[in-house]
Structure 1
Amino acid sequence: MSSAEHDVEKSQDGTSIEKYPTKTYVIDDENNRFDVASIDGVQRRMKQRHVQMIAIAGTLGTGLFLGSGQALSGAGPVGALIAYILIGSVAYSSLCSIGEMTSLAPISGTFPHFAARWVDPALGFALGWNYYYTNVMGVPVEVSGAQILITYWDKDPSHAGIYIAVICVGVSAINIFGVQYFAEAEFFFSLIKITMITGLILLGVILDAEPGNGPNGGRLGFHYWHDPGVLNGAGLEPKHLGLDRFLGIVSVLVQAAFSYQSMELVAVAASETKNPRRNIAKAVRRVFYRIFTFYILGIFITGLLIPYNDPALLHTSGTAADSPYVLAMTRAGVKILPGIINAGIMTSAFSASNSFLFCSSRVLYGLALRGQAPRIFSRCTKKGLPLIAVLFSAAFSFLSLMSVSSGAETIFSWFVSLTTVGGFFGWGSINLTYLFFYRGLKAQGIDRKQLYYWSSLQPYLSIWGATWCALLILINGFEVFWHFTASKFLTSYINIPIFFTLFTFWKITKKTKVRKPLEMDFVTGIPTPEETESPEIPPRNFAEKVAAFLF
């Protein structure tokens, strides 16, 4: 064990950037492989505007735009709102946790490596492969969703395979071209998604407030909160109304989680981002407003437009026709917008699959760098692209072709269940890792308030997030205990034995140990602020001030 000395660093404006104690412990060795700078070939090509737009809307997909109708029918307007607020708080806790850890260490491998470095290498191995699986399966989920959306215009089932193949090739090509092409594509798609969700919310407010849209020719207002009501039951305990309504809220939690999934993408991209500490800190600070505006406000407006017992919500097609906004517009006599909304949702599905592929390939690359995946996946091109990891991950997108023969909606819902439970493990492990990280900093005398980003709500946020993730893993498939089917039970709970098998395998084969606070390594392989951050240039005119505010 060796030690290193660091002083408080100052940026050009005189503010503190990082602060390390007199002694910082280093435990790097061949088994840990913390210092991989010599073989880490990725390059920092993402700009500030890319990172901010990806943080705002990078993973908005079919889960939000179409899932809101299912959430409304499953739990009622207030029940769906409660579910989205709860899952939003868990997602926020995870983002705050990973934001602070990334502020210290903006390196390849991100939180699976943080778990290996600060908790236990076995947890890092299990988390890394679980998160890889979750994201790589998210690609065919969104590809399937995009293909279903195309049936809004082309209902010929014989064309489904062609559309899926084209989407898969397009998503793969963007990632193969390199991170700069991925970043530009996501910037463009994020603009579309932000414009669309903002427009839908504003349109929803207009439809709700405009006279003539209500049942008696007046305003809608909160009419549907009174008739049929604010809560809907799950239909599992009809003789116990209160319990049934509670189960209705629980049934929507998984759907809500799929809508929020992979919000942590911005941290995964830290190793390929210019000025990562400053940009990711800014992105994480804006997460709360993103959750409130797009998710909470969106589901609130949805509950005002359509009653939860509307028959149209029960017959899902997978297209924009399922959207409560489209249903409300159609009934208000608006004819042209549904097709436009469907096109916007389709680009969202394409964008989400693009983001999942990027995320999965970088996690696989990070595992390979540190010896927890075959070394071949750590190979990079001269332009910093982990090509083998991208190609291997892209191959899984073609699993969406299964929907051609098995039914797109069935395959879609099956993948949703598998990926969402894996996401709970990811969020839970992020929060658990932060608790170790927090304890280690405190034990070694490192002032976390000197980092670019820190949250005054920690460590309570992480305790909240980790607790709820553990509960959600256990209850996500609760309906199967009323109406048991083997397929539903497996998709709900197969991730539990998979995760702990991975953990046990690495624990036994590598004889790993839980990190002690004074032995945690906060130095090795982590670039200093001088190596990653360039001086921030203040805006010089009105246009630059607007850009600085937005991005």
Structure 2
Amino acid sequence: MSTTEKKDVDKKDIDSVEKYVEPEAIHDEHRASSNPGYHLDVHDLDHVQRRLKQRHVQMIAIAGTIGTGLFLGSGHALQGAGPLGALIAYALVGTVAYSSLCSVGEMTTHAPISGTFPHYAARWVDPALGFAVGWNYFYTNAISTPVEVTAAVILITFWDENTSHAAIYTAVICVLMVSINIFGVKWFGESEFVFSLIKIALILGLLIAGLVIDLGGGPQGERIGFRYWKNPGAVAGAGLVKNIHTDRFLGILSVLVQAAFSFQAMELVAIAASETESPRRNIAKAVKRVFWRIFIFYILGILMIGMLVSSADEALLADTGTAAQSPFVIAMNRAGVKVLPHIINAGVFTSAFSAGNSYLYCSSRILYGLALRGQAPKIFTRCTKNGLPLLAVLFTACFSLLSFMNVSSGAETVFNWFSMNLTYVFFYRGMKHQGFDLRKNVYNNRLQPYVAYWGIFWTIFFIIVNGYAVFFDFNASDFLTSYINIPIFLGLYGGYKILKRSKFWRVDEMDFVTGIPTLEETEIPEVPPKNIWERIAGILF
């Protein structure tokens, strides 16, 4: 096809990626020029639509990971490692999460297309790795959806203890989650925008209230300060060995992967790139702001609960699933503040609903991306005329019926971070070899590839120590729970590699051009603020 013919086809049949066209029709006609030696071109099938606005993406980035892991799970971290130990664990895991987002953010701003990091792994490392990463991420998020549904139902029991109503609440929540995703990405963006506002207001309110109480401004007027860092101590032991220093070190190890669960879904902004307006500019902004989000919400949050609640407080051992087990609620109850538990429970409920909503979105888009690349049934590539991968959403929604499961995704989250950083290292080597100037990318971290190396080292470490406690009192059940994801991942990788005989791409074979839209195709000119309120909105969103 000549260049003139191609331009005519683009003008008539393809409005960027906005218009729905059958995969067979778009395959040959929307193909960027590239080296004929490249092997990947099936990603041209992408035909979702860019309906997420800047405010949607920025709010998702700011508050996307604030959920039950921070509001409820942080209590277990405090009990397991003590205030300083929990702070160290969350700070370390935060740097690894940030390194992973920097890596995937840079790749995404270069190629804002469907499939995100599993596709990048297949395109720049090995198709078998992309297959394993994609299906690992899909089932992790698909199963996490019913877990969050169950969590939301349990949170409702804080007000309604009638267990016979649980099935009704489950059905209502499932229908609402699925409906939001079926209505389209615009409605998903609006819902997450509202949920993010609620979560941000809640965590900021708790930080301020906690500081007031710690300084003696609570009803009892008692100044707390850092007394719990002195007694029972800054670092709690795991109770596994007699040597106190070793036991305290093991205590910190015990909460590392648990902390990773709190940072799950940080990559949501990258997954939404193919459906985001001006994705390169907006994702670059989002990634740059993540560091401050981690510091303000997570580090200050963990520091605050460590100041307000003793790591030996018996209430931390409760596993109600409601606000009653939140260290923030425990702190308010100890200070004599009675109204906040209900407010916190309502906020945590919206967080659980938002998390389930996000997991459903993420897993459906990963499934869609896998199908585009021939690594999942082709039927999941079909979209509505509005660009919604409906069949992928409906199939993923079926997992929400498993709303009585109870699993944690901390270990799987670490696997995903490992793949993001590993893929970036290959991406970096290939770009350098082919003469691309990484500094010209819309987002570029000058500390790369060392940021990715940091992420690779610690994710391998997290995977190894995930279930270390089982070796002090071995039983098969706990061992499988801790390490089952390793053989699953290797099985997916090895099975695909054997059947498809895939290979690692050489640096001169990596495709950085084909099917990737240009800046002119994706970016809308930024409108300068007209008044002070628009300037403030630009800073916040």
**TM-score past 0.5 threshold:** yes
**Aligned residue in 1 for 2:193:** 187
Pairs within 5 Å for 1:15-30 = 25=35, 27-29=37-39
Task: Please give the alpha-carbon distance, in whole angstroms, between the structure 2 residues aligned to 1:462 and 1:25.
Answer: 28
Residue 486 (structure 1) shift: 2.6
Count how many residue pairs are aligned between Structure 1 and Structure 2.
509
Give yes or no for the alignment of 1:547 onto 2:541.
Answer: no
Give yes or no for the alignment of 1:270 onto 2:273.
Answer: yes
Is the Cα–Cα contact under 8 Å of residues 94 and 462 in structure 1 kept in the other structure?
Answer: yes
Q: 2:283 aligns with which of 280, 283, 299?
A: 280
Is the Cα–Cα contact under 8 Å of residues 274 and 533 in structure 1 kept in the other structure?
Answer: yes
Give yes or no for the alignment of 1:65 onto 2:71.
Answer: yes
**Aligned residue in 1 for 2:442:** 452
Q: 2:145 aligns with which of 135, 139, 146?
A: 139
Is the Cα–Cα contact under 8 Å of residues 27 and 521 in structure 1 kept in the other structure?
Answer: no
Task: Please give the alpha-carbon distance, in whole angstroms, between the structure 1 residues aligned to 2:66 and 2:396.
Answer: 21
**Aligned residue in 2 for 1:105:** 111
- TM-score normalized by structure 1? 0.90
Q: 2:165 aligns with which of 159, 167, 175?
A: 159
Task: Please give the alpha-carbon distance, in whole angstroms, between the structure 1 residues aligned to 2:237 and 2:106.
Answer: 39
Give yes or no for the alignment of 1:433 onto 2:423.
Answer: yes
Residue 328 (structure 1) shift: 1.5
Is the Cα–Cα contact under 8 Å of residues 35 and 524 in structure 1 kept in the other structure?
Answer: no
SS in 2 for 1:524: coil
Task: Please give the alpha-carbon distance, in whole angstroms, between the structure 2 residues aligned to 1:265 and 1:316.
Answer: 29
SS in 1 for 2:355: helix
Is the Cα–Cα contact under 8 Å of residues 59 and 351 in structure 1 kept in the other structure?
Answer: no
Give yes or no for the alignment of 1:475 onto 2:481.
Answer: no
Deviations 1:386-423 (A, max 9, x none): 011001111101111x3xxxxxxxx43xx11xx22111
**Aligned residue in 1 for 2:395:** 392
Task: Please give the alpha-carbon distance, in whole angstroms, between the structure 2 residues aligned to 1:327 and 1:40.
Answer: 49
Give yes or no for the alignment of 1:128 onto 2:118.
Answer: no
Task: Please give the alpha-carbon distance, in whole angstroms, between the structure 2 residues aligned to 1:380 and 1:250.
Answer: 45
SS in 1 for 2:266: coil
Deviations 1:240-284 (A, max 9, x none): 111111111011112111100110000000000000000000000
Task: Please give the alpha-carbon distance, in whole angstroms, between the structure 2 residues aligned to 1:210 and 1:24.
Answer: 66
Amino acid paired to 1:509: L
**Aligned residue in 1 for 2:316:** 313
**Aligned residue in 2 for 1:335:** 338
> Judging changes above 3 Å, is the alpha-carbon distance between structure 1 residues 341 and 218 closer, same or farther for their aligned structure 2 residues?
closer
Task: Please give the alpha-carbon distance, in whole angstroms, between the structure 1 residues aligned to 2:411 and 2:260.
Answer: 9
Is the Cα–Cα contact under 8 Å of residues 26 and 523 in structure 1 kept in the other structure?
Answer: no
- Structure 1 gap ranges (5+): 1-22, 403-410
- TM-score normalized by structure 2? 0.92
Residue 467 (structure 1) shift: 1.1
Task: Please give the alpha-carbon distance, in whole angstroms, between the structure 2 residues aligned to 1:212 and 1:35.
Answer: 61
Identity %: 64
Residue 25 (structure 1) shift: 4.2
> Judging changes above 3 Å, is the alpha-carbon distance between structure 1 residues 288 and 26 closer, same or farther for their aligned structure 2 residues?
farther
**Aligned residue in 2 for 1:381:** 384
Give yes or no for the alignment of 1:235 onto 2:242.
Answer: no
SS in 2 for 1:357: helix
Task: Please give the alpha-carbon distance, in whole angstroms, between the structure 1 residues aligned to 2:275 and 2:84.
Answer: 41
Is the Cα–Cα contact under 8 Å of residues 61 and 259 in structure 1 kept in the other structure?
Answer: yes
Deviations 1:212-252 (A, max 9, x none): 788xx741111111111101011111x11111111110111
Pairs within 5 Å for 1:195-210 = 195-210=201-216
Amino acid paired to 1:109: G
Is the Cα–Cα contact under 8 Å of residues 213 and 220 in structure 1 kept in the other structure?
Answer: no
Is the Cα–Cα contact under 8 Å of residues 79 and 230 in structure 1 kept in the other structure?
Answer: yes
Task: Please give the alpha-carbon distance, in whole angstroms, between the structure 2 residues aligned to 1:45 and 1:241.
Answer: 55
Is the Cα–Cα contact under 8 Å of residues 63 and 199 in structure 2 kept in the other structure?
Answer: yes
Q: Which 10-residue stretch deviates more, 296-305 or 464-473?
A: 464-473
Deviations 1:530-550 (A, max 9, x none): 100111111111111111111
**Aligned residue in 1 for 2:46:** 40
Residue 357 (structure 1) shift: 0.4
Amino acid paired to 2:458: W
Amino acid paired to 1:36: H
**Aligned residue in 1 for 2:495:** 505
Task: Please give the alpha-carbon distance, in whole angstroms, between the structure 2 residues aligned to 1:260 and 1:61.
Answer: 9
Residue 157 (structure 1) shift: 2.0
Residue 483 (structure 1) shift: 2.5
Amino acid paired to 2:431: L
Task: Please give the alpha-carbon distance, in whole angstroms, between the structure 1 residues aligned to 2:503 and 2:472.
Answer: 41
Residue 27 (structure 1) shift: 4.1
SS in 2 for 1:231: coil
**Aligned residue in 2 for 1:289:** 292
Is the Cα–Cα contact under 8 Å of residues 213 and 219 in structure 1 kept in the other structure?
Answer: no
Q: Which 10-residue stretch deviates more, 68-77 or 157-166?
A: 157-166
Task: Please give the alpha-carbon distance, in whole angstroms, between the structure 1 residues aligned to 2:65 and 2:99.
Answer: 17
Is the Cα–Cα contact under 8 Å of residues 77 and 304 in structure 1 kept in the other structure?
Answer: yes
> Judging changes above 3 Å, is the alpha-carbon distance between structure 1 residues 118 and 348 closer, same or farther for their aligned structure 2 residues?
same
Give yes or no for the alignment of 1:221 onto 2:228.
Answer: no
Residue 485 (structure 1) shift: 3.0
Task: Please give the alpha-carbon distance, in whole angstroms, between the structure 1 residues aligned to 2:250 and 2:165.
Answer: 39
**Aligned residue in 1 for 2:7:** none
Task: Please give the alpha-carbon distance, in whole angstroms, between the structure 1 residues aligned to 2:432 and 2:425.
Answer: 11
Amino acid paired to 2:138: Y
Give yes or no for the alignment of 1:369 onto 2:372.
Answer: yes
**Aligned residue in 2 for 1:6:** none
Residue 170 (structure 1) shift: 1.0
Residue 484 (structure 1) shift: 2.6
- Structure 2 gap ranges (5+): 1-32
Deviations 1:323-374 (A, max 9, x none): 1111121222211111011011000000010001000000000000010000
Q: 1:298 aligns with which of 284, 298, 301?
A: 301
Task: Please give the alpha-carbon distance, in whole angstroms, between the structure 2 residues aligned to 1:211 and 1:278.
Answer: 43
Is the Cα–Cα contact under 8 Å of residues 259 and 410 in structure 2 kept in the other structure?
Answer: no
